[in-house]
């Protein structure tokens, strides 16, 4: 679990890169590089207020994966107030 002050979603990752998606820490935030198709799915999930999971890592890495989960919550008291 990583806490971040901001998140940047970059939809310019090429499918030929060999990655499903890439995540990296940038200053005190998180940058997630995703394909154009994943960006469209993310946008739709945000419009529909649906949870969304981005699987990061190499396409052929097997079971070693990272996930970026976007979750909608009902109770805001458990979230970061800053």
Is 80 inside a domain boundary? no
Count of domains forming the chain: 1
* Radius of gyration from C-alpha coordinates of the chain: 14
More confident residue, 14 or 74: 14
Neighbours of 21 (CB within 10 A): 21
Which CATH number goes with the domain that contains 54?
A: 3.30.1360.220
**Domain enclosing residue 64, as ranges:** 6-70
Tens-digit pLDDT profile for residues 16-73: 999 999 999 888 899 999 999 999 999 999 999 999 999 999 988 777 778 999 998 8
- Is the residue at 41 inside a domain? yes
CB atoms under 10 Å from CB of 56, counted, come to 18
**More confidently predicted of 18 and 80:** 18
């Amino acid at each position: 679990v990583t806490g971040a002050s901001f998140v940047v979603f970059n939809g310019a990752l090429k499918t030929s890169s060999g990655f499903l998606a890439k995540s990296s820490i940038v200053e005190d935030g998180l940058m997630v590089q995703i394909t154009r198709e994943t960006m469209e799915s993310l946008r739709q999930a945000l419009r529909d207020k649906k949870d969304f999971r981005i699987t990061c890592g190499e396409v052929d890495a097997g079971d070693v994966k990272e996930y970026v989960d976007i979750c909608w919550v009902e109770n805001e008291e458990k979230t970061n107030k800053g």
